Amino acid sequence: MFITVFGQKGGVAKTCSSVHIAACWSHQHKRVVLVDADRNRSATAYGARGLLPCPVVPIEAAAKATRYAEIVITDGQASSNEEEMKNLVEGSDFILLPTTTQSRSIELTVEMAQMINKYKIPYAALLVKVDSRKEAAAENAQELLEGFDIKVLDAQIPLLSAFEYAETEGVTVDQAIDKRGRANPRRMVGWAAYCSACNEIDVLFEEHQKLNQNHLPIGWDFSLIEQRMAA
């Protein structure tokens, strides 16, 4: 399964989401590779200490590095141009759109969804950085997105300082420790939320596969040249 984590807005937890869904599936003993398609190489920086449970490779090395992978997660970059977006979408089996409750983030997710609709690739929005003190904002964001027929995962990723501590240490949130070296008390809430998101993606992907068997991206033809000549 090829999953691209994508969004045009900066700082909406694309890299954090890529790292965590890659880690959740790795913990389920899946062979996972995280591909860093962002020129800033933030996923590479996150994994630089070698403490993540799966390899992180730059996109230029992805072809060989993903040879034996069951799940390939690509961390996309904000402000991609149209050509880059099209290629990322066509090369995916599923697209995850991390979205915050801010109106600009919602707007950009709606725009992105309209673009992806042309390609018939399944996708879903994931509400991230959800502030537990502002429940109404998350409900409102969900309603707005669903109003545009966008699937929103039930899992919501809470806003937690544990995610920032984890990134600083180069580990996933379940291993986050605070400034005094103590285990962060809310870390497992963040981890469980990403694991639930993975389970939902698994189900959505399987449902889509059943309905769209052998679907190839638009314009790609993998048939033998003899067959193409004869057609």
The answer to the question of residue 15 lying near Mg ion (CB under 5 A) is yes
Query: How many CB atoms are closer than 10 A to CB 51?
Result: 13
Which member of 26, 42, 101, 142 binds ligand ATP (CB under 6 A)? 42
H/E element, 94: strand 94-99
Taking the C-alpha atoms of 99, 105, 110 and 116 in order, what is their torsion angle to the nearest 10 degrees? -60
> Which residues in 163-182 contact ligand ATP (CB under 6 A)?
163-164, 167
Q: Please check whether residue 186 is in contact with residue 162, taking contact to mean a CB–CB distance below 8 angstroms.
A: yes
Taking the complex as a whole, how short is the minimal distance between the CB of residue 12 and ligand ATP, in angstroms? 4
Contact between 86 and Mg ion per CB under 5 A: no
Nearer to ligand ATP, 38 or 174 (CB): 38
Residue 36 backbone phi and psi in degrees, to 5: -95, 105
Q: Which partner, Mg ion, ligand ATP, none, binds residue 6 by CB below 5 to 8 Å per kind? A: none
Using DSSP, state whether 63 is helix, strand or coil.
helix
**DSSP 8-class letter at 175:** G
- Of 92 and 142, the one with the shorter C-beta distance to Mg ion is 92
CA distance 13 to 197: 14
Site for Mg ion in 22-51 (CB under 5 A): 42
List the single partner that 20 binds among ligand ATP, Mg ion, none, CB under 5 to 8 Å by kind. none
Q: Using CB under 5 A, list all residues that contact Mg ion.
A: 14-15, 42
User: Where do contacts with ligand ATP occur on this chain (CB under 6 A)?
Assistant: 10-16, 38, 42, 77-78, 128-129, 157, 159-160, 163-164, 167
